[in-house]
């Protein structure tokens, strides 16, 4: 009989525009064995964004109700909008032994770290601030004002990288994916996880 250990919770965060979404899409198309949590947000959908695919789009009232009903693992107000991670999907998926990745900003990541320190916290870093600016501008989804606000927040966020387990530079998407895959593999080989797993295996066999 084989014992299924709990999945890993991988938290990928970093400043807006660094490439979190791009890297997650590349991991997905590689077939990396990670489940992607879909966040709730109060921001308006961008062109092409779909309900339940990119986000669950909610009013501020509906979002606040989710906070009150403790339906969010973490949440944060970021540049005028709320963002949060539905707790049920994360719990159920980890319990099934599957790894979950959250793509979230820094305040939310630090909340998860406080409540779920056994998670794996990866900070995705830009090669430089000027490259970060080029990326946000190049994406063309925000007005100039919003880009400036996001860049201001980015400086404080980069200062928070010291609280993460790993820092991965997103210089090239494929290299960043290689590094993240290596981290996930290494986390699966961590001694504490394996001691627990083998203890349970010995009990059942």
Ligand X SMILES: Nc1ncnc2c1ncn2[C@@H]1O[C@H](COP(=O)(O)OP(=O)(O)OP(=O)(O)O)[C@@H](O)[C@H]1O
Ligand Y SMILES: Nc1nc2c(ncn2[C@@H]2O[C@H](COP(=O)(O)O)[C@@H](O)[C@H]2O)c(=O)[nH]1
Q: List binders of ligand Y among 80-139 (CB under 6 A).
A: 83-85, 103-105, 108
11 annotated as belonging to a binding site for a ligand: no
Residue 29 C-beta: closest distance to ligand X, Å: 13
What tokens appear for 106 in the block? 């820094």
Nearer to ligand Y, 71 or 193 (CB): 71
Q: What is the DSSP string of 165-178?
A: SEEEE-SSHHHHHH
Q: Which residue is nearest to ligand Y (CB)?
A: 108
Nearer to ligand X, 94 or 103 (CB): 103
CA-CA distance, 50 to 35, in Å (whole number)?
A: 18
- With tokens 């201001």, the residue in question is 152
Cα–Cα separations (whole angstroms), residue 121 to 2, 75, 162: 28, 16, 11
CA-CA distance, 107 to 160, in Å (whole number)?
A: 9
Q: From the list ligand X, ligand Y, none, which binds 18 (C-beta under 5 to 8 Å, kind-based)?
A: ligand X
Nearer to ligand X, 118 or 174 (CB): 174
195 annotated as belonging to a binding site for a ligand: no
126 annotated as belonging to a binding site for a ligand: no
Q: Please check whether residue 133 is in contact with residue 148, taking contact to mean a CB–CB distance below 8 angstroms.
A: no
16 annotated as belonging to a binding site for a ligand: yes
Residue 58 C-beta: closest distance to ligand Y, Å: 11
Q: Is 71 in the site for ligand Y (CB under 6 A)?
A: no
CA-CA distance, 193 to 205, in Å (whole number)?
A: 19
Q: List binders of ligand X among 118-177 (CB under 6 A).
A: 135, 138-139, 170, 172-173
Q: Please check whether residue 104 is in contact with residue 86, taking contact to mean a CB–CB distance below 8 angstroms.
A: no
Which residue numbers belong to the known binding site for ATP? 14-21
| Interaction site with ligand Y (CB under 6 A) | 16, 20, 39, 43, 74, 76, 78, 83-85, 103-105, 108
| Interaction site with ligand X (CB under 6 A) | 16-22, 135, 138-139, 170, 172-173
């Amino acid at each position: 009989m084989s014992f299924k250990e709990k999945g890993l919770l991988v938290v990928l965060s970093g400043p807006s525009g660094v490439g979190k979404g791009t890297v997650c899409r590349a991991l997905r198309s590689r077939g990396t064995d990670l489940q992607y949590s879909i966040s709730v947000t109060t921001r308006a959908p961008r062109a092409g964004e779909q309900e339940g695919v990119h986000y669950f789009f909610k009013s501020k009232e509906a979002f606040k109700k989710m906070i009150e009903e403790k339906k969010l693992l973490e949440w944060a107000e970021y540049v005028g909008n709320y963002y949060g991670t539905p707790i049920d999907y994360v719990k159920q998926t980890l319990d099934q032994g599957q790894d979950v990745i959250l793509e979230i900003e820094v305040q939310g990541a630090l909340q998860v770290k406080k409540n779920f320190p056994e998670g794996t916290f990866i900070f995705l870093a830009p090669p430089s601030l000027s490259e970060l600016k080029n990326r946000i501008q190049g994406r063309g989804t925000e007005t100039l004002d919003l880009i400036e606000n996001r860049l201001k927040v980015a400086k404080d966020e980069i200062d928070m990288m010291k609280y993460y387990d790993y820092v991965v530079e997103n210089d090239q998407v494929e290299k960043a994916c290689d590094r993240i895959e290596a981290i996930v593999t290494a986390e699966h080989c961590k001694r504490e996880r394996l001691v627990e797993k083998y203890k349970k295996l010995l009990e059942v066999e």
